[in-house]
Amino acid sequence: MKGTAILPVPSQTPADRGAAHVQPRTTITRRGRLFQRLALLLSATVLYYAFFGLGGLAAGTHPAKQAPWAAPRGRPYSGSSSVKPGPLPPSEPSDVCPQPAALAPAKHRALAEELDRAYADEAFKLHAYETLGGAIRIPTESYDDLGPVGEDRRWDTFAKLHEYLEQTFPRVFETLRVTKVNTYGIVLHWQGSDESAPPVVIAAHQDVVPVEPATAGEWIHPPYSGFYDGEWIWGRGSCDDKSDLIASLHALDALLEKGFKPEKTFVLAFGFDEEASGAQGAGHLAVYLEETYGTNGIALLIDEGGGAFGTPYGGDVIFAVPSLSEKGYLDVRIELSAQGGHSSVPPKHTAIGLLSSLIVAIEEQPHEPALVRGGGPYNATQCAATYGPEYPDELRSLAHSAVHNDEALAGLRDALLDNFPRFEAILRTTQAVDLVQGGVKVNALPEKVSAVVNHRIAEHSSVAELKEHFTNVILPVATRLNLSIEAFGSNVSAGSGKAGRVVLSDAFGTGLEPSPVTPSGGEDPYQVLAGTIKATIQSAEGYNASGVVVAPLLQIGNTDTRYYWNLTRNIIRYKHVDDGDRFNGAHTVNEAVRAEGWIQSIRFYTKFILNSDEYL
């Protein structure tokens, strides 16, 4: 059915079919046959131009030149409901989920193959496992209440990690230009021969989330053991994010050892408080990088994020999911002041009761979900519907029609929410009441109470829209309860204020708009990374799949890239690891990475550097 997918055959009524069977045969003369052939040729020509367009074949013109990594152009969905959509094989192109060609180094092909053989050597693997284990054994925990660097002694553990990295990768730290930013931020500058070419940045972070002491006994191996048990490397940071940091250093070290001299400049930037806020690490690194390389002076930046690659839709089609954007962020503090007094003579509603009414209203009126054509969730859904072998038929059909049909688009949104609970967090601005404070004594009426509501702002929304929604939700409740309102610095007409006053504010001054969306057109740097992902997976030892689909999505959480927007439009969040090679994920007990699978991260960074040097 491939040839007819966008040109559906008109349906026939039973009468039509019956009439066709009883039409009389006619005798066709030689001249008739000639005219029949000419008519068929003319019809085919008309169909060809209608399908492919005239522009590329008009006199004096040529088809548009494609980038070296570009895959064949695909077939668009027609939006017709008369064709039942089915999963395409990954080799079949599609306009709703454009796929890059697998991109392997050409100019440095021999070097890439030599390093692949080196990485497969058992001695190299064991050495690499130990280098990651050694980094894990240094507990570089970051906390939300850390003071400034130089004042809070808890930062001192990062000095030990720096000493370890310098001893473990002496070739890297002796060859590249090393800059320390705010003491513990690391910048490694590898100058290329083409000084006019903008650099490529590889980012990672040195810190890890703290281990909850009460859970230490639940670990199969101690959380800071870095123990290799013959299959897994155990410990905090094995998945997030020392694995990426060490893998990128191994790639650089191997390239330096082989005498590789890049044309492009490469910069490694390692923050040290991403798990807190990133302000001390990436916040300072961003300023340094912009001062050094200029605003929009970076060609491409890759940092942690995205999702692991795997087969989430069944079958043997591997999906890799880099993130091209992140949700925004805002913590809203609700502070309510009311008259105090003795609890033996209480008002109808205490301050805590009043605050509770506001919280109930907030939770009863969540933000509306939206599925926007061209947005990250929409594009990821189209990829899943196009190539996912076991993607639900109902959703596949809706996605097929949603390309042009608004009603189908709304139906697809609702079906995603019904079938995949995670889309509740993807398609809407989320809200979570995480902090509540109030009351000091059981016989004293509370005078000041507060709550903090955490929000992750949807790709289609904004900080301003969130503030407006929040204010509008509590306004009728405040009016009914006679509470006055100050909303984000402005007085709002509400109740008389007799019962108390409500102040809404950005709780910690960390409000963040949804990130810009990285362009992913056929000529954009994204294609180099996407092609590298595909080539690395397909060339891995033991690869056994019908193909790889690169399906960009939206990052729900925030990474250090929030500080890097001024450096480049081309920011991609991606971690090259198979979903089955993570024992229990990150930020939880028994964090571990399968050692053999982690070697693929080293291969990925190696190919990414070689491809970026050649194709960007």
| Catalytic center residues | 207, 274
Q: How far is CA 57 from CA 48, 136, 330, in A?
A: 11, 59, 52
- State both tokens at 42: 């003319």
Any idea what the Cα angle at residue 303 is, between residues 322 and 152, rounded to 5°? Answer: 140
Q: Where are the beta strands (DSSP E) in 92-219?
A: 177-181, 185-190, 200-205
- State both tokens at 441: 């004594």
Q: What's the CA gap between 525 and 487, in Å, rounded?
A: 42
Q: What's the CA gap between 470 and 463, in Å, rounded?
A: 11
C-beta separation of 151 from 171 below 8 A: no
- Residue located via tokens 């061209």: 374
356 HSE (CA, 13 A, CB side): 6
Q: What's the CA gap between 593 and 585, in Å, rounded?
A: 9
Please name the residues in contact with 31: beta carbons below 8 A apart, sequence gap of 6 or more. Answer: none
- DSSP letter at 589 equals T
Q: What's the CA gap between 91 and 88, in Å, rounded?
A: 8
Q: Which residues of 426-460 are buried (b: 16+ CB within 10 A; e: fewer)?
A: bbbbbbebeeeebeeeeeebbbebbbbbebbbbbb
The DSSP annotation for 389-405 comes to TTS-HHHHHHHHHHTT-
Q: What's the CA gap between 498 and 502, in Å, rounded?
A: 12
Angle between helical axes of 122-136 and 242-257 (0-180°, round to 10): 140
C-beta separation of 514 from 324 below 8 A: no
C-beta separation of 104 from 112 below 8 A: yes
Query: How far, in whole angstroms, is CA 606 from its chain's centroid?
Result: 21
Q: What's the CA gap between 455 and 435, in Å, rounded?
A: 13
Q: Which residues of 315-340 are buried (b: 16+ CB within 10 A; e: fewer)?
A: eebbbbbbbbbbbbbbbbbbbbbbee
- DSSP letter at 107 equals T
| DSSP helix/strand/coil, 523 | coil
- DSSP letter at 580 equals G
